Chains A and B, each alone.
Chain A
Amino acid sequence: MEALDSLFHGFGVLLTFHNMVLMLIGICLGILVGVLPGLGGPNGVAILLPLTFTMDPTSAIVLLSCIYWGALFGGAITSILFNIPGEAWSVATTFDGYPMAQKGEAAEALTAAFTASFVGSIVAVMLITFLAPWIASFALRFGPPEFFAVYMLTFCSFVGLGKEARHKIVISLTIGFLLAAVGMDTVSGELRMTFGSVELLRGFDFLVAVIGLFGISEILLAMEEHLAFKGQEAKIRFTVVWRTWMTLPRYWMTLLRSSAIGCWLGVTPGGAIAASFMGYNLAKRFSRDGASFGKGKIEGVLAPETAAHAAGTSALLPMLALGIPGSGTAAVLLGGLMVWGLQPGPLLFVEQKDFVWGLIASMYLGNIAGLIIVLATVPLFASVLRVPFATIAPMIIVSCAVGAFAVQNAMFDIWLMLGFGIVGYVFKKIGIPLAPMTLALVLGDKAEDAFRQSMIGLDGGLGIFWSNKLVGTISTLALIMLFWPLIGKAIDMIRGSGRSAPGAASSGSSRP
């Protein structure tokens, strides 16, 4: 077991007083930036990067990666308590986390989210420990058609498995695609829909949109209801952690499925966000009680959190092994690696054993320490809901504005955030789901690039999406997802031709 030897070597590197202190500092700072909407992992890491220039690379990466783990944990907190995703990949956590908080189960939801994060991360780290070389070569098999097929699968599973009316999902997706197209088009090298404005050159930032669509619109809704406090008084006892844990083993299938999705999507760029949505949608599809998703079901918190964290963790692997960052934070860390004199790439694992295995060991310890710290804060954060909403609302708005500004240091983004807030408010009123729009905004231009890159060259044509086993499987899966309602109906009709209960297609009616 060469990997185990290396791992223990890594623990040896890590277990010094100095590094352990840095680890704890990193996690606490990470939770802090994760809680503030928009500030998030990439900014937290970027702000602290200059402090690490004089450190040795292992201590530096321990500090910075622990900020990352902390931010991953912290992102769930505001999603659950205020329906405001602290991080892009926490959007799916709001679907059931916020309803749970409204039912007075905030502490349960937080515990579930943190535990799920931990499970996802640990599965991904184990994968990195034992399968790193294999995963790196798997990632190399992804060309433009494969990337497009993965994005397609994400979009199709949204349309096919979504709970809202299909036409409303498609409307929301389309608006997202339109917004994603603003700015520089990679394939043609042309500016699109910038109308001569300097502010529009960079296009619409996903985080600014998320803060506005979810955060500001939620405040507007609350104001309309005279700042009535929707969250009931949460009963907070520390035993809640234990009680929630006791219920978790029965969801092992959800945890396992989401971990697998997360690890798989984590090695492709933009993975964590797609993973959280897909984890959620698939959990809903395969749950015995899919119809009650979105009304405060613990599975609806577990599924996206596990997937997002498995993806967020495995996103570090392509950064280390290929030099391709799988997430925003990974991109900032990549810059740091260079400053510390390390060259990411296939040889990093061979030449920088101390660094790589120190980092991997810190993933284990960092996540364990992170879990303990965040679980200890569950009562604290859950009790935030006892503060009158009229007091906390202005603080949320300020925090949203700071977050939106911090993304690009641009005042324009604050106005944009308010604009998105109004759009979000209207959409919530007329029942258009916001999640498809945010998904399309973040993956839309990637999907478009991948599609058009696939079309270039002599083999360009729709056949390229079935040109090998890998891409063919993903593409076919995507189409099955898209037409799932029809397929489900057809299966029911064939089965039900003898029986008397047709219809009620995709709502899981075939329960014994």
Chain B
Amino acid sequence: MLEKLVSKRAALVAACLSGFTVSSAMAAWEPTKPIEIIVPAGAGGASDQMARMMQAAIQNNKLSPTPIVVTLKGGANGGEGLMDMQASAGDPYKMVISNSAIYTLPLANKLPFDWRKLTPVSILAFDNFVLWVNANAPYNTAQELVEAMKKEPAGAFKLGGTGSKREDHILAAAVERISGVKFSYIPYKSGGEAATQLVGDHIKVNVNNPSENVAVWRAGQVKALCVFDNEPMDYPAKVAGDKSWKDIPTCKSQGIDFQWIMLRGVFLPAGVTPDQVAFYQDMLGKLVETKEFKEYLEKQALKPSDLKGAEMVKFLEQDEALYKDLMTQSGFVAN
């Protein structure tokens, strides 16, 4: 798989290079004014943290000749930032860090946005989803949780997540269908809120990303039951007591056969030139090699990714189809 990817990348690079030789009279593009990272999310959230880390890594390693500015446009679950990008066609000084809101907002809210109207640059990482319960809960595996739920009336277990008709909600609905149980889904403003609400025992379950729950996990306040991916996370260092991210079993191995990962990708507006895209791909390629970025990945337990160009577009199309299917099944798609 990896080899195939690499060879495809090589082909892509070759294609790019040949493109360059044709227009070799033109010098490679470089920014001449500050670059803006648009964060379609609120202050302190995962996207904001990623943007700040990128800002720090790019400045400390001098990867860009001009400064990086972070702008928060978190209105309407990020719809504000995405619409701003869509309206900025031809502006090579704006990049957005987006997650699956690029699919959910148009589907659930009929937001007139289409990621095809942006220029995909690269996917820097994928975020995992973990099934978490309070540390004092009597169950230690996903099976035990499902069995405990089946003994109670439907909806007795509250599951808290970020927002409504978004990743957490879609995942909860998928778990319900697969396991034949029913949660009462409580939408909160942020994953951080869902984490403290779980510690305070106001909800029974959450499906937070590793980074959203790592602090309370390390403090021994929550338990990780399983991760919604096909293989365990690849971080063997001890994080919470004697547990590492790698020790968390897959949900598939515990009877919930479902994979759910979320992209963290970078887009430019439409209408930018190939050499502008090349500059960003080059900069981000160097970024992922920096010490700061690698530390960040490990700390947040993110899955590294090097999808870009045509590979990225292919992934986005498949991912979007998956979202559309699941959201239709759950009745989350607006008519």
Q: Do A and B bind each other?
A: yes
Give the residues in chain B near A187, CB-CB below 8 Å. Answer: 164, 187
Q: 8 Å CB contacts to B: which residues of A308-326? A: 322-325
B46 nearest CB neighbor, chain A only = A338
Q: Is the Cβ of B163 less than 8 Å from the Cβ of A186?
A: yes
B249 on the interface (CB 8 Å rule)?
Answer: no
Cβ–Cβ contact B158 & A346, under 8 A: no
A194 interfacial contact with B, CB 8 Å: yes
Asked if A50 is at the interface (CB within 8 A of a chain B CB), the reply is: yes
- Residues in A whose Cβ lies below 8 Å from that of B55: 50, 53, 339
Known A-B contacts A202-B74, A338-B49, A343-B214; A186 and B189 likewise in contact (beta carbons under 8 Å): yes
Q: Which residues of A contact B87 (CB under 8 A)?
A: 198
B193 contacts which of A194, A324, A331 (Cβ < 8 Å)? A324
Size band of the interface chain B makes with A: 35 or more
Chain A nearest CB: distance from B134 CB in Å? 11
Answer yes or no: B109 CB below 8 A from chain A CBs: yes
Q: Does A332 contact B (CB under 8 A)?
A: yes
Closest beta carbon of chain B to A181's beta carbon, Å = 13
Q: Would you call A201 and B79 a contact (CB within 8 A)?
A: yes
Within 8 A of A (CB), among B174-219: 184-189, 192-193, 195-197, 199-200, 202, 214-216, 218-219
**Interchain CB contact under 8 A, B202 and A184:** no
Pick the residue among B59, B80, B108 that contacts A189 (CB under 8 A): B108
Q: Which residue of B lies closest to A350 (CB)?
A: B219
Q: What residues of A have a CB within 8 angstroms of the CB of B165 in the complex?
A: 189
Interface size class of A (residues with CB under 8 A): 35 or more
Give Cα distance in the complex from A325 to B49, angstroms. Answer: 14
Assess whether A189 is in contact with B187, with CB atoms less than 8 Å apart: yes
Contact mask B48-70 → A, CB, 8 Å, 1/0?
A: 11001101100110000001101
In contact, B56 and A456 (Cβ under 8 angstroms): no
For residue B169, CB closer than 8 A to chain A, the reply is yes
- Chain B 298-335 interface 0/1 with A at a Cβ cutoff of 8 Å (1 = within): 01000000000000000000000000000000001000
Is B59 in contact with A50, judged by CB distance below 8 angstroms? yes
**CB-CB nearest in chain B for A189:** B164
Q: How far is the CB of A55 from chain B (nearest CB, A)?
A: 11
Q: Do B44 and A201 have beta carbons less than 8 Å apart?
A: no
**Contact call A334/B43, Cβ cutoff below 8 A:** yes
Nearest chain A CB to B208 CB, angstrom units: 12
Q: B216 — which chain A residues lie within 8 A by C-beta?
A: 345-346
Which parts of A183-220 form the interface with B (CB within 8 Å)? 183-191, 194, 198, 201-203
Separation of A122 and B37 alpha carbons in the complex (Å): 38
- Any chain A CB within 8 A of the CB of B83? yes
B218 touches A347 (CB 8 A): yes
- On chain A, the residues within 8 Å of B276 by CB distance are none
State the CA gap A139–B192 with chains docked (Å).
14
Say yes or no for B42: interface residue by CB 8 A criterion. yes
CA distance A345 to B220 in the complex (A): 11
- Interface membership of B223, Cβ < 8 A: no
A461 at the interface (CB under 8 A from B): no
Q: Are B185 and A456 in contact (CB under 8 A)?
A: yes
Cα distance, A471 to B153, chains bound together (Å): 25
A343 touches B299 (CB 8 A): yes
Which B residues are CB-close (under 8 A) to A348? Answer: 215
Asked if B76 and A186 sit within 8 Å, CB to CB, the answer is no
Known: A323-B196, A323-B215, A344-B215. 17 other contacts (CB 8 A): A49-B52, A50-B68, A53-B60, A183-B76, A184-B77, A186-B188, A189-B165, A190-B109, A325-B43, A325-B44, A328-B43, A331-B43, A332-B44, A335-B44, A338-B53, A345-B216, A346-B219
7 A-B pairs in the complex with CB atoms less than 8 angstroms apart: A139-B196, A186-B164, A186-B188, A201-B80, A338-B49, A339-B49, A456-B186
Binding site for B on A (CB under 8 A): 42, 46, 49-50, 53-54, 139-144, 183-191, 194, 198, 201-203, 322-325, 328, 331-332, 334-336, 338-339, 341, 343-348, 408-409, 449, 453, 456-458
